[in-house]
């Protein structure tokens, strides 16, 4: 697993990205944070610079994150979408990581058979190669749900693409899409850490009312969509700093 690291000391803040994205989506939040300890920002397995390592599961991803973070400091794990599920798994204590607080944002909690079928279809697709880098970046942004939110020439965008000679492909391994529906109720129940759930009021993937069933104090960011950390980094940094 590849990761970026900022600062040192305790507590350790871990920022976990969503499906088909990379750790670079947290850049704007990191710039705005006043965090007293170490910040660790991984590329999850099969994403960004981290090598593919199928078969994928929420637990295997949490184990890889725990190996990077270590056991020497209290940890606050903040995750978006897929990263939120991984953060909840990390908070269980099963992987030896001393997590004290989990913030899971924009986690999809209801999965229909059609949702699962679409995810399985994505996972079975062969890797697509592009002769033009800009076309590959455009595709990466659309797959990650970041089209129109991120400058295609920025490191946040280009991190989603890998070059091989004169060809380009997405850094994301499609096989990661077929993780199945997460057991949010089970993960929240198993979590030894404080759990904080939240989403944007305009998030098409999950609604605030759904999250309240798992966390009565779930927060909502008004006027914000699925990618709050990109759309409103000041607000998200404020949520994290308040912890």
Going from N- to C-terminal start, the domains of the chain cover: 3-110+181-241, 114-174
What pLDDT does 151 receive?
97
CATH of 3-110+181-241, one of 3.40.50.1400, 2.30.42.10, 3.40.50.1820, 3.30.70.260: 3.40.50.1820
CA dihedral 59, 78, 142, 1 (to 10 degrees): -50
**Cβ(42)–Cβ(86) below 8 Å:** no
Residue with more model confidence, 131 or 243: 131
Gap between the Cα atoms of 184 and 21, Å rounded: 21
Q: Per-residue pLDDT tens for 10-65? A: 999 999 999 999 999 999 999 999 899 999 999 999 999 999 989 999 999 999 99
Contacts of 187 (CB under 8 A, 6+ apart): 85, 88, 89, 92
- 164 bridge partner residues: 167
Query: Is pLDDT above 90 for 121?
Result: yes
Over range 185-200, report the average pLDDT.
Answer: 97
96: Cβ contacts below 8 Å, ≥ 6 apart: 66, 71
Higher pLDDT, 56 or 242: 56
Confirm whether pTM is higher than 0.95: yes
Residues forming beta bridges with residue 198, ordered by sequence position: 105, 219
Helix (H) or strand (E) holding 130: strand 129-130
Q: Percent of the chain scored above 70 by pLDDT? A: 100
pLDDT in tens, 204-225: 999 999 999 999 999 999 999 9
Is residue 219 within 8 A of residue 196, CB to CB? The reply is yes
Q: Write the secondary structure of 180-221 as one string of H (helix), E (strand) and C (coil).
A: CCCCHHHHHHHCCCEEEEEEECCCCCCCHHHHHCCCCCCEEE
Q: Which of 114, 116, 124 is nearest to 175 (CA)?
A: 124
For the four alpha carbons of 48, 227, 7 and 76, in that order, the dihedral sign comes to negative
Q: What is the pLDDT of residue 108?
A: 98
* C-alpha span between 234 and 54 (Å, rounded): 35
């Amino acid at each position: 697993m590849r990761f970026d690291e900022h600062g040192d000391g305790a507590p350790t803040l871990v920022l976990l990205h969503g499906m088909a994205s990379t750790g670079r989506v947290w850049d704007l939040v990191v710039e705005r944070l006043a965090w007293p300890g170490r910040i660790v920002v991984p590329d999850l397995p099969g994403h960004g610079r981290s090598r593919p390592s199928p078969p994928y599961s929420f637990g295997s991803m949490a184990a890889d994150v725990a190996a990077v973070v270590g056991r020497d400091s209290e940890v606050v794990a903040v995750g978006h979408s897929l990263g939120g599920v991984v953060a909840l798994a990390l908070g269980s204590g099963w992987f030896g990581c001393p997590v004290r607080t989990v913030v899971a944002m924009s986690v999809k909690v209801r999965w229909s058979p059609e949702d699962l079928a679409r995810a399985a279809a994505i996972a079975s697709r062969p890797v697509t190669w592009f002769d033009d880098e800009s076309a590959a970046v455009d595709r990466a942004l659309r797959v990650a749900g970041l089209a129109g939110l991120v400058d295609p020439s920025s490191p946040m965008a280009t991190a989603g693409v890998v070059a091989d000679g004169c060809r380009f492909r997405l850094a994301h391994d499609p096989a990661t899409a077929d993780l199945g529906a997460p057991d949010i109720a089970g993960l929240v129940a198993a979590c030894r850490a404080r759990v904080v759930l939240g989403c944007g009021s305009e998030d098409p993937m999950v609604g605030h009312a759904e999250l309240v069933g798992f966390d009565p104090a779930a927060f909502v960011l008004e006027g914000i969509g699925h990618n709050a950390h990109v759309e409103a980094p000041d607000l998200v940094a404020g949520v994290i700093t308040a912890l």
